[in-house]
Copies of this chain bind each other. A is one copy, B any other.
Amino acid sequence: MKIELKKQKKKAALMQAAYTLFLKQGTENTSVGDITTAAGVAKGTFYLYFRDKQDIVTAVIVVLSRQILEEAYLKMCAVRTGDFAEDMTLLANALLDFLADNKPLLGFIERGFRWPAFRERMNAAGNPVWQSLRNDLRLQAERTGKDEEELIRRVYCLVSMCGSVAYSSIMRGEPEDLSRLRPVICGIIRDSLRAEAAE
């Protein structure tokens, strides 16, 4: 018990240290040694909890991706209209805001965004945010008589689009400033979700 707890704590400490360092210096410039030093454990200990460096990178990205989507979802909830397409538009905007405000973070997760939504939704024990999102999707599916799975996939693709366009625009300024692409993204989301509902 106690041991199990200790282990959990150590792993958490490593994750936390990695999280902080990755954000500050990026993945490449953070060595395993940096992480273990920051976590206050020996280098070898790292390999008791993670297979290799990539393992912890992925783990942190997953956590981060989830956090970002959660944060954006909560922000959307605060201003939601009740119209599904519109609300997804708000979600996208919240997402874009967050990414634009966290350039270093965007650089870190680079294009490694992981949308754990699809694994999570199998999880009945998932956290409330995801349950709520899933509920939104289910309601909308019922309301429009569409397949929930299909709707989920559609939303996934649209969120992917947000991430991809945002990365290119924010990190490289290609092909234009995000301010110009944002309404386009929203337009696509709105149109594609309305159209589907109407079919």
Contact = CB atoms under 8 A, between A and B. Distances in A.
Contacts of A117: 175
- How many copies, total? 4
Interface residues of A, number: 35
B176 A118 contact: yes
A55 interface: no
B196 A187 contact: yes
A167 interface: yes
Contacts of A174: 114-115, 118
Interface in A115-136: 115, 117-119
Contacts of A114: 174
Contacts of A110: 111
A53 interface: no
Nearest to A195: B191
A184 interface: yes
B153 A160 contact: no
B187 A154 contact: yes
A30 interface: no
B153 A181 contact: yes
A185 interface: yes
